[in-house]
Every structure is written in structure tokens, then in C-alpha cells.
Amino acid sequence: MKKIFIEGMMCEHCANAVKNALEEIGGTNVSVNLDEGYAEAEISVSDDEIIAKISEEDFEVTEIK
């Protein structure tokens, strides 16, 4: 399970965009915590691929744990 900290999410639409983006690159059990500014997912792609996909949605990944 990876925890992906994301800046720029302001509403449920933003959260859904992030969730869908992570699912498109193979993420499962994806959840987004809008208030805390992070998403969690079981995902096996590289951190660089995650950052690139989230960037396509106009959000910034600040950290991945």
C-alpha cells in the first residue's frame, strides 16, 4: 500500500479525478482523503509513473510513502 500526498485537491471532483487516474495505471483499493490531502492505493508501478499520471490531472505529488 502506497500513501501518495497530493497538493491541489479542493473538492470531491478532484478526489474522483485522482482516484480514477490511479485506477487507470493499475491501482486497486484506492481511497482518497480530501481533508488530509493524500490518496492510498495498492499499486505496483514506479513512483515516477504515479507522479506523471497525477500531474496529468493538474495536481502535484509532494511525497510517496
Share of the chain above pLDDT 70, in %: 100
Average pLDDT of span 15-38:
97
pLDDT at site 24: 97
Separation between Cα atoms, residue 23 and residue 41, nearest integer Å: 9
User: Global pTM?
Assistant: 0.94
Contact between 49 and 30 under an 8 Å Cβ cutoff? The reply is no
- Confidence band of 36 (pLDDT split at 50, 70, 90): very high
Q: Cα(first)–Cα(last) distance of the chain, in Å?
A: 9
pLDDT at site 57: 95
